[in-house]
Amino acid sequence: MSNDITSRKGEVVGQWDGEDVNDLMKELGRIKKELKGDRVEHTGVPHKDQFHEDFVGFTAYVMWAVDKKDQCLTGSGANRIEPVAQIREFYANDIAKDAAGRARD
C-alpha cells in the first residue's frame, strides 16, 4: 500500500504511514499552506483499507482516515480526531440515521 497523499489534480503532495492521525492532520495542514490552485480531499488520503466495514455507509460528516490506534480524522477541514467507538455511538443514534438516509435519497 502506498503512503502517498494525492491532490485533486492527482499529484503526490505528501506522505502518511497510517500509524497516527495526529501526524496526518499536521501533514494536511502543511500541504494546505503550500498548495496553490489545488487541494487535497479525503479521497486523496492513503490507507483506506484501515476503515472499518461498518463505516462504509457513514455520511453524517467527512471521515478522512482511521489510524492503527482506532482514531479517526474527521470534519470537512480535517480538524477533529475522534475514537472509532464514539463515531459508532453517533452512527447508532437517530439523528445520524436520518442524515445517512437523506444522503442516499
CA–CA separation, 43 and 65 (whole Å): 9
Q: What is the pLDDT of residue 43?
A: 92
Q: What is the pLDDT of residue 75?
A: 93
CA–CA separation, 83 and 60 (whole Å): 16
Is the pTM of the predicted complex or chain greater than 0.85?
A: no
Partners of 80 in the β-ladder: 74
Domain spans of the chain? 4-104
Q: Please say if the pLDDT value at position 96 is more than 60.
A: no
Is pLDDT larger for residue 90 or for residue 18?
18
